[in-house]
């Protein structure tokens, strides 16, 4: 049986740190409120001259180096992002050029915070079909450039970064066991950026109305996220006849500590088996899972044959999971 195996991981976060205390000086909030309601202490902010493809390039280079591969060894590049370099072309094509991955087809995926799981799912299917052998899947975001720094309900949440994995065809009994992806567009307006697209093309009017910034109805999103993620992780494990106790690690999207704790509780997993880095990076949307995966892997928290569950929830609304036997 053909499967896709993660053979390497990589990540990159910008150097600049923005703490809760820094944000206290910008809007009416407090370090205490942010930590209690989200679990976030600080986040990283990209330089003005950095675009999403620059962060993706660093993460991809790190994964390629780990794998001992050259960019020409890749035959597909999938980039998950909602903060791409520009509306046209795909950030994946800019990354392909930077890397010099001449043989790879490249395209973007837009599924907000679930983007990496969507990308992984697509890459897995390309490999299982036999058409492609090596796929680079990247999540990269510069949310800070689309954050309304005068809106305390969103500006405390987001951060910048990128993470990457390389998938390779294997016939061993390990790799990606199953991915699940879901959407419910009826709630698209819970989390959206109204301006800059064909509905509200950029104009002085859309700028004045601050339409180019991310808007989120946080509390409503929170409630749906908790419910959907609990159902999702249970369904994923049940379908694969895997007891939660057999999981070595849960690597959730890093949106909110309380959402992560609720999912872990539903699985009866001790928090030592849950990877959390949102205290340091905030919510980096599509980048959060591959950054957390890279950190966990390089810290020696993942061993061969371990069962790892990834899960995410985000704008769209979208949500998804990936069960991996490492």
- CA gap 205, 189 in Å, rounded: 20
Q: Map tokens 């052998």 to a residue.
A: 133
Binding segment (CB under 6 A) for ligand ACO, from list 84-92, 96-104, 254-262, 264-272: 254-262
Q: Of residues 225, 260, 275, 287, which one binds ligand ACO by CB under 6 A?
A: 225
Strand partners, 52: none
**Residue closer to ligand ACO, measured from CB, 74 or 216:** 216
Say if CB 185 and CB 316 are below 8 A apart. Answer: yes
Q: Of residues 11, 60, 285, 288, which one binds ligand ACO by CB under 6 A?
A: 285
CA angle 65, 7, 53 (to 5 degrees): 55
Check binding of 146 to ligand ACO (CB under 6 A). Answer: no
Q: What are phi and psi of 39, to 5 degrees?
A: 90, 0
Q: Of residues 77, 191, 247, 249, which one binds ligand ACO by CB under 6 A?
A: 191
- CA gap 109, 116 in Å, rounded: 8
Query: Which residue numbers are catalytic?
Result: 113, 253, 283
Exposed/middle/buried for 248, CB within 10 Å: 0-12, 13-18, 19+?
middle
Q: Of residues 122, 137, 164, 255, which one binds ligand ACO by CB under 6 A?
A: 255
Check binding of 221 to ligand ACO (CB under 6 A). Answer: yes
Check binding of 326 to ligand ACO (CB under 6 A). Answer: no
**Residue closer to ligand ACO, measured from CB, 29 or 183:** 29
- CA gap 85, 154 in Å, rounded: 22
Q: What are phi and psi of 80, to 5 degrees?
A: -95, 125
**Residue closer to ligand ACO, measured from CB, 113 or 176:** 113
**Minimal distance in Å, beta carbon 120 to ligand ACO?**
16
**Minimal distance in Å, beta carbon 188 to ligand ACO?**
11
Check binding of 218 to ligand ACO (CB under 6 A). Answer: yes
Question: Within positions 114 to 133, which residues make up the interface with ligand ACO, using CB under 6 A?
Answer: none
Say if CB 276 and CB 257 are below 8 A apart. Answer: yes
**Minimal distance in Å, beta carbon 308 to ligand ACO?**
21
Q: Of residues 6, 113, 267, 322, which one binds ligand ACO by CB under 6 A?
A: 113
Question: Within positions 306 to 325, which residues make up the interface with ligand ACO, using CB under 6 A?
Answer: 313-315
Q: Of residues 7, 29, 128, 262, which one binds ligand ACO by CB under 6 A?
A: 29
**Minimal distance in Å, beta carbon 213 to ligand ACO?**
12
Which residues form the interface with ligand ACO (CB under 6 A)?
29, 33, 37-38, 112-113, 152-153, 156, 191, 218-219, 221-222, 225, 255-256, 259, 283, 285, 313-315
């Amino acid at each position: 049986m053909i499967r896709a195996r993660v053979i390497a991981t990589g990540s990159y976060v910008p150097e600049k740190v923005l703490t809760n205390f820094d944000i206290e000086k910008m809007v009416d909030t407090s370090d205490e409120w942010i930590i209690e309601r989200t679990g976030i202490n600080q986040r990283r902010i990209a330089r003005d001259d950095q675009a999403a493809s620059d962060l993706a390039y660093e993460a991809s280079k790190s994964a390629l180096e780990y794998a001992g591969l050259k960019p020409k060894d890749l035959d597909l590049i999938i980039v998950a992002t909602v903060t791409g370099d520009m509306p046209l072309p795909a950030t994946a094509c800019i990354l392909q050029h930077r890397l010099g991955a001449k043989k790879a087809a490249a395209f973007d995926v837009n599924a907000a915070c679930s983007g990496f799981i969507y990308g992984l799912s697509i890459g897995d299917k390309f490999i299982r079909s036999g058409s492609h052998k090596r796929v680079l899947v990247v999540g990269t975001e510069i949310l800070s450039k689309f954050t309304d720094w005068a809106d305390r309900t969103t500006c405390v949440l987001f951060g910048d970064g990128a993470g990457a994995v390389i998938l390779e065809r294997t016939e061993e009994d390990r790799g990606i066991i199953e991915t699940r992806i879901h959407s419910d567009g009826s709630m698209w307006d819970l989390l959206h950026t109204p301006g800059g697209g064909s509905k509200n093309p950029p104009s002085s009017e859309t700028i004045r109305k601050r339409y180019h910034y991310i808007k989120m109805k946080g509390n409503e999103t929170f409630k749906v996220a908790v419910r959907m993620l609990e159902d999702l992780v249970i369904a994923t494990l049940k379908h694969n006849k895997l007891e939660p106790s057999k999981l070595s690690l849960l690597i959730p999207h890093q949106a909110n500590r309380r959402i992560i704790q609720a999912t872990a509780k539903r699985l009866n997993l001790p928090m030592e088996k849950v990877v959390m880095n949102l205290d340091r990076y905030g919510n980096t949307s599509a980048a959060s899972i591959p950054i957390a995966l890279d950190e966990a892997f390089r810290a020696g928290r993942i061993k061969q044959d371990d069962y790892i569950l990834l899960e995410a929830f985000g704008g769209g609304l979208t949500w998804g999971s990936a069960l991996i036997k490492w």
